[in-house]
Structure 1
Amino acid sequence: MQRNPNIQDDLSELDRIHFLHPTSSIQQQQQHGPAFIFTRGEGIHLYDLSGKKMIDGMSSLWNVNIGHGRQELGKVAKEQMSTLAFSSNFATFSNEPAIRLAKKLADISPGDLQSTFFTSGGSEANDTAYKLARHYWILKGQPNRKKIISRTKSYHGVAIGATSATGLKPFRDFTNSLAPDFLHVNYHSSNSLRELIEKEGPDTIAAFISEPVQGAGGVHLAPLNYFKEVKKLCEEYDILFITDEVITGFGRTGTYFGIEHDKVVPDMMCFAKGVTSGYAQLGGVMLSKKIHKVFTDMSTGTLLHGYTYSGHPMACAVALKNIEIIESECLIENTKRIGKELLDGLKLLQKNHAVIGEVRGKGLMGAIEFDHTVTASPIAPLIVNEAVKRGLICRSVVFDGQDTLVMAPPLIITKEELYHILDILDDCIHAVKETM
């Protein structure tokens, strides 16, 4: 249903004046207003104020795993808010949804990950992991172990610690005062990790953190056996291994968590996004039995870390229903099946377009990297713009000299809907090539 154009004009003007958008061009917002003002979502689609229908090819921010418009989650949220909308979990206070979600997470997570510290989102989860890792070593009598190693091309969020860990330089250049003791290592080389550990001294390093698949950095998959080699190095040097599953968790790669593909169990695991499919703000850090035991056995005072909304009852109730839907609708199995179709479709595009240098993907995460020897300047942003004209939202990555288009549709997507996306991309690449 279309609305009065004056309403859109009024909202656009209010947006320009009052709404400072995250990760957006301020100049573009000021000149043109918001690109879309969305009012409704259904399945894999979003609808804006003018009634335009868009395919959400990114699951918004890699997070709307079960799709838009799921009234089941709204019903659960209403029921929980009507009984206990919020209560603090400080000072050992608790609530039933948080307890039950923590138990469910232990049931579905790899290995002996058994306890959860809840946050409001991914950046908080990663910052929490760094603090808990450093506190772990303080309890163990090794306070000099405080350095955190991450990979180049990684993205771990935008809180000050998360920004410092992020391996995409433009995010670090945004601020002039990064947190100390963060190091970055080549994203594809376990040997370079060993070299850095030896250079810095193992007794100065608290933890190594990595995404199982680097999402915002361009959907980069690690080489075969990389994580087994990394885990072995961490065990050899007694360094904690943290996985950042903020994007890759809750079915996105075709397993519950991305690291399961490598049959490796981390010491800590960060999550957010898909835990509620974006219907409520929630994240967390899971601790292995070993790490949890050190905290319970060796702590003598208060754990002086926590967020107001840690273990928020409504958010946890929504998460439980979201996980129930993922399981009852076999969305992880659907991701495996449609993910293979996605990768095959990207390979066909590569065969048909010489401008494509590489395609890659795992589950419902896919990337098209364009060949710099064929294109004089990045074309991924141009293709994204063409896709918007045709009703598809996807994303370009031009950090670190990349020219990449990425996509991550909701896990509910059908084969027919996927083929429609691929047809749109084919048409967009043709359109951009004609202008070259």
Structure 2
Amino acid sequence: MKQSEHPVSQAYAKYINPSFIELLGVLGYGRVFVRASDVWLWDSEGRRYLDCLAGFGSVNLGHNHPALSARLHQLLDEQVLHFCHTGPAAGAAALAEALARRLAAPLEMSLFASSGAEAVEAGLKLARAATGRSDFVSCDGGFHGTTFGTLSVMGAERLRQPFEPLLAGCHRIPFGDLDALDRVLKARKPAAFLVEPLQAEGGVILPPPGYLRAAQELCRARGTLLVLDEIQTGLGRTGTLFAHQAEDFVPDVLCLAKALSGGLAAISVALTSRALFDKAYGGAGRFDLHSSTYQGNALACAAALKTLELIDEEGLVARSAQKGARLLDGLRARLRGHPLVKDVRGRGLLVGIEFGPTGSSWLDKLAPALVDKVSQGMFGQWVALRLLEAGILAQPASSRWNVLRLEPPLTIADAQIDAVVEALGAILDEYRSIAPVVADVTRRAGAQWRGGWQF
């Protein structure tokens, strides 16, 4: 059966998102994935792929971890109350305590939800309620979700513009620019500064050393809360349990999601101090100002609790630091001097390879704008397709398609890392200039057109 004829792809196109299915058919990227285990995926034709995307950082434990699956089976057999809204929920209480034990004071109060965007919205709501202010500051290139509130602080114009006007009083500044932050804090007196410890969707961009700690000091001097979005960087992804621990500071609000689920049950949380929680929601008249039907449900909390235990038991934080260094060092050595590789950067097992003009080829000198445009528009996606055909799943950063992101489960082994490095190196050896990229993409698009844009 052709992938385009698979009932899943047909139903998805008919009832969910036909444009997505059409896009997958432009170059032949489409696959129907039917099974997953640890770092491996299988499609409906039985082909195996090494997962270097991990559900955009949601599957730090690896897919379908047997101990996590066993815990959820056990919970279902226990016939617990899953949605408890007229009394304290046991699972939520246990998870909140486990999170507080792993975080520095004063972060101890949990506001649970289901998605990362909801956690960010919880942080923004708390900031308004606790400070009595209304404005927000976020960063160019930042990504915090696609709900109305989170789109208001979205750094990618392409994703934001179709839904404007959004929330008033939202201001964006360059990521890593303390002077710009200081100016907007003085001028606008915002409720919160929302920032990521490193921008994943924005192109795996790391801030200058000490930036976050200095930003926290500026915010506190102006009465503004620092809301840290660790939805993609938390739970060991960057080589520490939480990315902010490497920066030696504590945010006022910490947002977590993705990997907290263990890859099996949707859950998110915004953590803050008791003092800020009391300002926002203290008292009988305010206790229910922030709530959700699914928040703190038993299944999601059990998954998150077991995930925290497995991260500790299997040493996945240290493993992320070690394997990430191997991946980063291997890529830098293999791709050193490549005329289309501008940078290889990252932290832990979140690594980006930026494509673009380096000034080292004749075409760079003759037409740098053309090289940059091709890199921005197609090169990252083409390399991702070539990797897929080599049995490796990866994707460019969603807001910067010229940055290929590698983000495997934290359980990836040395041999698998080395295989990724060599596969990427071999593909890029074929493209020492933009001309063969354009030729190959054109040839493939033509073949797909003649075949009816087969998924």
TM over 0.5: yes
Partner of 1:388: 388
Partner of 2:130: 136
CA distance in 1: counterparts of 2:106 and 2:410, whole angstroms? 27
Aligned CA distance change for structure 1 residues 294 and 199 (closer, same or farther; 3 Å)? closer
Amino acid corresponding to residue 19 of structure 1 in structure 2: I
Q: Return the match for 2:109 from 108, 115, 119.
A: 115
Partner SS for 2:430: helix
1:394–1:406 CA contact under 8 A, matched in 2 = yes
CA distance in 2: counterparts of 1:245 and 1:42, whole angstroms? 25
CA distance in 2: counterparts of 1:323 and 1:424, whole angstroms? 33
User: More displaced, 79-88 or 180-189?
Assistant: 79-88
1:216 Cα deviation from its structure 2 partner? 1.1
1:33 Cα deviation from its structure 2 partner? 9.6
Partner SS for 2:233: coil
Gaps of 5+ in 2: 359-363, 365-370, 438-455
Q: Return the match for 1:57 from 52, 55, 65.
A: 52
Aligned CA distance change for structure 1 residues 85 and 164 (closer, same or farther; 3 Å)? farther
CA distance in 1: counterparts of 2:181 and 2:204, whole angstroms? 21
Amino acid corresponding to residue 197 of structure 2 in structure 1: P
Partner of 2:423: 424
Instruction: Show the 5 A alignment for 1:323-334.
Output: 323-334=308-319
CA distance in 2: counterparts of 1:383 and 1:397, whole angstroms? 13
Q: Return the match for 1:367 from 345, 348, 352.
A: 352
CA displacement, residues 337-389 of structure 1 (integer Å, 9 cap, x when unaligned): 11111111121133141211111110000011123354351121111111111
CA distance in 2: counterparts of 1:381 and 1:20, whole angstroms? 20
Partner SS for 1:404: strand
Question: Is 1:196 aligned with 2:191?
Answer: no
CA distance in 2: counterparts of 1:369 and 1:32, whole angstroms? 21
CA displacement, residues 240-276 of structure 1 (integer Å, 9 cap, x when unaligned): 1111010011000111111111011011100001112
User: More displaced, 184-193 or 34-43?
Assistant: 34-43
CA displacement, residues 302-338 of structure 1 (integer Å, 9 cap, x when unaligned): 4222111100101100111111111101010111111
Partner of 1:140: none
CA distance in 2: counterparts of 1:6 and 1:163, whole angstroms? 34
Amino acid corresponding to residue 413 of structure 1 in structure 2: I
CA distance in 2: counterparts of 1:165 and 1:77, whole angstroms? 36
CA distance in 1: counterparts of 2:103 and 2:209, whole angstroms? 22
CA distance in 2: counterparts of 1:381 and 1:46, whole angstroms? 20
Question: Is 1:18 aligned with 2:15?
Answer: yes
CA distance in 1: counterparts of 2:417 and 2:405, whole angstroms? 14
Question: Is 1:236 aligned with 2:221?
Answer: yes
1:183 Cα deviation from its structure 2 partner? 1.2
1:61 Cα deviation from its structure 2 partner? 1.7
1:27 Cα deviation from its structure 2 partner? 3.4
CA distance in 1: counterparts of 2:32 and 2:21, whole angstroms? 16
1:112 Cα deviation from its structure 2 partner? 1.7
Partner SS for 2:108: strand
**Percent of pairs with identical residues:** 27
Instruction: Show the 5 A alignment for 1:273-312.
Output: 273-295=258-280, 297=282, 300-312=285-297
Partner of 2:149: 161
User: More displaced, 339-348 or 365-374?
Assistant: 365-374
CA distance in 2: counterparts of 1:211 and 1:348, whole angstroms? 28
Aligned CA distance change for structure 1 residues 7 and 155 (closer, same or farther; 3 Å)? closer
Q: How many residues align?
A: 420
Aligned CA distance change for structure 1 residues 298 and 330 (closer, same or farther; 3 Å)? same
Partner SS for 2:236: coil
CA displacement, residues 82-110 of structure 1 (integer Å, 9 cap, x when unaligned): 3346543434x222221111100001123
Amino acid corresponding to residue 129 of structure 2 in structure 1: H
CA distance in 2: counterparts of 1:117 and 1:81, whole angstroms? 24
Aligned CA distance change for structure 1 residues 13 and 380 (closer, same or farther; 3 Å)? same
2:32–2:44 CA contact under 8 A, matched in 1 = yes
Partner of 2:444: none
User: More displaced, 294-303 or 402-411?
Assistant: 294-303
Instruction: Show the 5 A alignment for 1:23-38.
Output: 25=20, 27-28=22-23, 35-38=30-33
CA displacement, residues 378-406 of structure 1 (integer Å, 9 cap, x when unaligned): 12111111111101111113746x62111
Aligned CA distance change for structure 1 residues 130 and 272 (closer, same or farther; 3 Å)? same
Question: Is 1:126 aligned with 2:114?
Answer: no
Partner SS for 2:191: strand
Amino acid corresponding to residue 146 of structure 1 in structure 2: S
CA displacement, residues 181-208 of structure 1 (integer Å, 9 cap, x when unaligned): 22111112011101112222x2xx1011
